[in-house]
């Protein structure tokens, strides 16, 4: 499996996909730290739910890029920040 840093160096993705990937991965990592530091179980579930949303955006964005679907990439661009 390719590391995130290697992906950014070797990928031929356009700037939008690379930037989106960086932003989403940083949010997922931030949420991961919050989950580890939160003692309340209900809060952990909420944080994990948010983390799953960002992970699904990331998967969809990378799939759209790999099949060169500009319409789908635009949808993720407009929806990922919500």
Query: Is residue 11 assigned to a domain?
Result: no
Query: Is residue 10 assigned to a domain?
Result: no
Among candidate residues 47, 81, 79, the one with its CA nearest the CA of residue 64: 79
Burial (Cβ within 10 Å: 0-12, 13-18, ≥19) of residue 76: buried
Give the count of domains, the chain. Answer: 1
Query: Is residue 56 assigned to a domain?
Result: yes
pLDDT tens by residue, 24-76? 889 999 999 999 999 999 999 999 999 999 998 888 877 877 777 777 767 76
Domain that holds residue 28: 16-79
pTM of the predicted protein model: 0.69
């Amino acid at each position: 499996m390719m590391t995130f840093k290697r992906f950014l160096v070797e990928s031929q993705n356009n700037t939008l996909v690379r930037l989106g990937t960086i932003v989403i991965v940083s949010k997922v990592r931030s949420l991961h730290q919050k989950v580890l530091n939160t003692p309340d179980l209900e809060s952990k579930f909420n944080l994990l739910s948010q983390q799953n949303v960002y992970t699904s955006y990331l998967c969809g964005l990378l799939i759209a890029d790999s099949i060169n679907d500009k319409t789908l990439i635009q949808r993720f661009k407009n929806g990922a920040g919500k």
